[in-house]
Amino acid sequence: MDKPYIMHMITPAKNASPFDVNMACDAGWTTVIPYTDVEAAEITGLVQDAIFSRGPKGVRRTGIFIGGRDIDMAMDMLQLAREAMVPPFEVSVIADPSGAFTTAAGLVACAEHQLRKGYDADLGGQRVLVFGGTGPVGQAASVLAARAGASVSIVSHKGDAQARAVAQACMDRYAVDNIDGVDGSSDSKKEALLAEADVVFGTAKAGVQLLTTENLKAAGRLKVAGDLNAVPPLGIEGVELMDDGKPIAGLEGAVGIGALAVGNVKYQVQHALLKDMVTTEKPLYLDFQSAFDLARSYVDKT
């Protein structure tokens, strides 16, 4: 009997994500085992327990998925897993906490694609606002946009203290110096920010409307608005779920990218990364930069 493809799905959370279990099985992993409430200190032991029992062929059919909600914790666990390998007993590892890495990768790649298409520009030098950017998806999107050369502001609806703390933590951790944290707690504050924005991302909690058509009237130089909220009402009013570069009514030159258009790229990227882990001869270590590199090439091809 051929050895099964075993995915060890590790999460610091109470539950592994059913979404990720489905994605792993659909990509060719035949057996998916969840390990929940896992602490960073347990990663080395779990990884070394997984790698030694199956021989060289079995090692190639073994993978590790790191979930949870906290992007820094997931990156720490990915690094700890990598350091725990004992070549040739080495397996592929992917981190995608709360879908944040593949979703942020899809969002930023779609926005960059629209900038190229409509403005012959990239993210370099663009002023990017990330509403809801204190959450896991928003943090990953902020870091990716900052790495691509944008000047990024994480916008919080609770004032600037939390946003500034998260922005500083992202800069310290991911070696970028172009993220700040700003106050988006009122319509007038949001509109003042919008007046200077080239790109807007909506990455707040599902079901929250961040920007109304009235707010957007202030966005005189907006080029791209990308929204991730698939639960009514729309996160950015006027940007429909399936929009993929559709002009935003009343905003000359601006186009919208909706939650399901980004969701499609996220799906394709996560599927492809999980499949690469099945077929690779050499172990892969996949994080949000890996997801972004793939998302960029995917959107450019479509």
Ligand X SMILES: NC(=O)c1ccc[n+]([C@@H]2O[C@H](COP(=O)([O-])OP(=O)(O)OC[C@H]3O[C@@H](n4cnc5c(N)ncnc54)[C@H](OP(=O)(O)O)[C@@H]3O)[C@@H](O)[C@H]2O)c1
Binding site for ligand X (CB under 6 A): 98-100, 103, 132, 134-138, 156-158, 162, 203-206, 208, 210, 228-229, 259, 262-263, 266
Work out whether strand 151-156 and strand 127-131 pair parallel, antiparallel, or are unpaired.
parallel
- Closest distance to ligand X from the beta carbon of 262 (Å): 6
The CB-of-119 to ligand X minimum distance in angstroms stands at 25
Count of Cβ atoms closer than 10 Å to residue 184 Cβ: 28
CA distance 86 to 91: 10
Structure tokens at 3: 């050895």
Closest distance to ligand X from the beta carbon of 136 (Å): 4
Nearer to ligand X, 148 or 228 (CB): 228
**Smaller CB separation from ligand X, 20 or 112:** 20
CB 103 within 8 A of CB 228: yes
Strands, sheet with 244-247, edge to edge from the N-terminal-most edge strand: 179-183, 151-156, 127-131, 199-202, 224-227, 255-257, 244-247
**Which C-beta is closer to ligand X: that of 124 or that of 232?**
232
14/86 Cα distance (integer angstroms): 29
| Residue nearest ligand X by beta-carbon distance | 135
Residue with smaller CB distance to ligand X, 70 or 276:
70
Interatomic CA distance for residues 207 and 122, integer angstroms:
30
**Judged by CB, which is closer to ligand X: 132, or 283?**
132
| Least distance from ligand X to the Cβ atom of residue 154, Å | 8
Minimum separation from the CB atom of position 129 to ligand X (A) = 12
